[in-house]
Amino acid sequence: TGTISLRGGGAWADLKEGLQYIRANTTLLALLILTLVTVVLSMPYMFLLPIFTEDILHVGAQGLGVLVSVSGIGAIAGSLVIASLGNKYRGKLLLFSSLTLGVALIGFSISTWYLVSLLFIIPVGLGNAGRMALSNTLVQAYVDDEHRGRVMSIYMMEFGLTSFSIFGISLLT
C-alpha cells in the first residue's frame, strides 16, 4: 500500500510537471510521439468510411456495416494475438501493428473494389487494435506511479487531436 498525497499546485503546474517528466524519459517521449503520429494519420478513416462506401465503393449503409464488422473481426484477432503473447516483444509488436495499420490503410484508400476493400480492412482492424492496446500498455509500463495520472492525461489528449486530423484530411478530399 502506498500513500497518497494531495498537493494544491493546480492543473497547469501538474501539466507542466508531466511534460517535464515525459521530456526527461526518452523512451516514454518516443512512445508518445509514435502514438501521436499514428493516431493523427490513422484515426480519420473511421469517420470517413461513410463517404468512402457511398461515393467510391457504391455499397451504401449495408456495405458500411459489413466493412465495420470485418474490421472488428480483425480487431478481435489482433487483441487475441496480443493477449496470448504476454509481455514478449511489446515494442516490436507496437511498431509492427502501426506499420500494418498504415500499409493496410494505404491499400484500402486506393481500392475501388468492395471485395478488395474488405480484404484490406481486416489488417486495418488488426493493426488498430494492436496499436491501441500496446501503446496504452507500454506507456503505463514506462511511467512511475507518481506521474501516471499526468502522463496518461497527456496520452489521452492525443486522441482529442483526431478531430483536427479529420478536418485536415477532409480538406484534402
Residues 173 and 40 sit within 8 Å (Cβ to Cβ): no
How many residues can be counted in the chain?
173
Alpha-carbon span 129 to 71, nearest angstrom: 10
- Alpha-carbon dihedral 44, 97, 120, 59, rounded to 10 degrees: -30
Could you identify the residue written with the cell 470517413?
Answer: 48
**What was the pLDDT predicted at 34?**
92
**What was the pLDDT predicted at 3?**
54
**What was the pLDDT predicted at 128?**
93
**What was the pLDDT predicted at 171?**
78
**What was the pLDDT predicted at 5?**
53
Query: Is residue 76 helix, strand or coil?
Result: helix
Of 169, 132, 121, the residue nearest 34 (C-alpha): 132
Supply the pTM of this predicted model: 0.83
Per residue of the chain (173 residues), give pLDDT as tens.
555 555 556 778 877 888 899 999 999 999 999 998 998 888 888 888 998 899 999 999 999 999 999 999 999 998 898 888 877 788 899 999 999 999 999 999 999 999 999 999 999 999 999 999 999 999 998 999 888 888 898 888 877 777 777 777 777 76
